[in-house]
Structure 1
Amino acid sequence: MTFPTGGDSGVADGDEWSYAPTVGVGPLRFGMTVDEVVEAAQVLGRAKVSDCARHHKVFSPTWKIEVHRQGAASCPPAVTAYVSQAVRLFCVAADAVTGPQVKYDGISLVGRDLSELESDMIAYAEAMDVYFRYNVDGCAGPDDPGVVMCGQPVGQVLRSRPLFMVTRDGANTEWDSMPSEEFRHGRPQS
């Protein structure tokens, strides 16, 4: 059985990154330092490093690294990486519009209409006799604790913005590890 791969996802052409659970995504490996992430991200573009607000005292200081494509300074970052002082690189988010394409067993995860991705995940789970899961926001994705599917508003459509993660200091799950900036991505800040 063939599954759609999101050819009409709107994601920038030419970039396809691999994902390996607990290892990393594309050139980024979990456990990298800020400097290592900046160096590895050069394959995509230029990186900007900033401090993340410390919303939870249980987590060590965290830095956000926004990677913009070459010559696309006014566009959103294609990739946002999060590095904590304690565990180093623990989260990589691929932008729904400008991010590199990442597939999970042949299913494109980046920039997909969330309802279409859900249909593909259901069909995949039925055909392969495996599970898929929903996050607490109702986004369907692979049954892989290292992938947290999020929604990102793009025009009138909510598109998929996957986060590739490992748990960080003081967290029990990847969902608990999610940076506050990603939890509120695309939503009004209160």
Structure 2
Amino acid sequence: MSELRRFQADPWFPKTLGVEFGAGRGRPAVSCYFIDGRLFCVAVDAVHGPQVTLRGRELAACAPADLERFLLHADERGVLDVAYGPRGNPGVNGLGLVLRVQEAGGGVVTRPVMVGRGFADRCTDDWEGAIPECEWRGRPWPPADSSESRSSSGGRTYWGEGNSAKPAS
């Protein structure tokens, strides 16, 4: 991957540097965020980024309702401690994981945003957490009963333009 651009990632914290990396045609695949030269947050593009898994479950490019069911099942079993932030995004503060959505293929799919252990506490909270403001912009997490939250691909993961869907784990 090569560096595509650098930008100020958070208007409230001018020392937060964002760097987009991509491959191929220069489309961003991963956004990394640094404070004083130290990486603290990584956000994966749902369409062009790499796949990220949690306990064998793919987290990028999934139907929001499908992934939310997985998280809630893990929460019920005591495997994960799922939390919801003020904007309705699910995540696991102990792991430093927040799930966001982005538009792709005529609907919305999931994109993981992760912070390091030192920043994991309250990461689902867009006000008190460490995730830069630019990562909170965009589509809100759809309600579970919303048609855009459900899989239109029969439980298959959307994976980029012109590519066939990969089966969800």
**TM-score, normalisation: structure 2:** 0.67
Give 1:81's aligned residue.
32
CA distance in 1, matches of 2:10, 2:74: 39
Say if 2:1 is the partner of 1:48.
Answer: no
Superposition map of 1:76-115 within 5 A = 77-85=28-36, 88-115=38-65
Give 2:19's aligned residue.
65
- Structure 2, unpaired ranges of 5+: 141-169
> Which secondary structure state, in structure 2, belongs to the residue aligned with residue 177 of structure 1?
coil
Relative to structure 1, the CA distance from residue 133 to residue 65 in structure 2 (aligned partners, 3 Å threshold; closer, same or farther) is same
How far 1:185 moved relative to its partner? 3.8
CA distance in 2, matches of 1:152, 1:125: 24
- Of 99, 111, 124, which residue of structure 2 is paired with 1:161? 111
How far 1:126 moved relative to its partner? 3.2
Relative to structure 1, the CA distance from residue 78 to residue 102 in structure 2 (aligned partners, 3 Å threshold; closer, same or farther) is same
Letter in 1 for 2:29: A
Contact 1:66 1:79 in 2 (8 A): yes
Contact 1:112 1:160 in 2 (8 A): yes
Contact 1:114 1:139 in 2 (8 A): no
How far 1:65 moved relative to its partner? 1.1
Superposition map of 1:22-33 within 5 A = none
CA distance in 2, matches of 1:145, 1:136: 18
Give 1:117's aligned residue.
67
Structure with higher helix content: 1
Say if 2:94 is the partner of 1:144.
Answer: yes
Root mean square deviation, CA, Å:
2.6
Residue by residue over 1:59-104, the C-alpha shift from the partner in whole angstroms, topping out at 9 and shown as x without a partner, is 35122111111x222x3x110001112x721110000111111111
> Which secondary structure state, in structure 2, belongs to the residue aligned with residue 101 of structure 1?
coil
Contact 1:114 1:140 in 2 (8 A): no
Residue by residue over 1:108-157, the C-alpha shift from the partner in whole angstroms, topping out at 9 and shown as x without a partner, is 11111111111122223334554322232223344534111111122432
**TM-score, normalisation: structure 1:** 0.60
Runs of 4+ in structure 1 over 4 Å off: 127-130
Relative to structure 1, the CA distance from residue 50 to residue 124 in structure 2 (aligned partners, 3 Å threshold; closer, same or farther) is same
Relative to structure 1, the CA distance from residue 53 to residue 112 in structure 2 (aligned partners, 3 Å threshold; closer, same or farther) is closer
Contact 2:94 2:121 in 1 (8 A): no
For these two proteins, the number of residue pairs brought into alignment is 135
How far 1:181 moved relative to its partner? 1.2
- Of 117, 124, 134, which residue of structure 1 is paired with 2:84? 134
> Which secondary structure state, in structure 2, belongs to the residue aligned with residue 78 of structure 1?
strand
CA distance in 2, matches of 1:97, 1:63: 23
Contact 2:81 2:94 in 1 (8 A): no
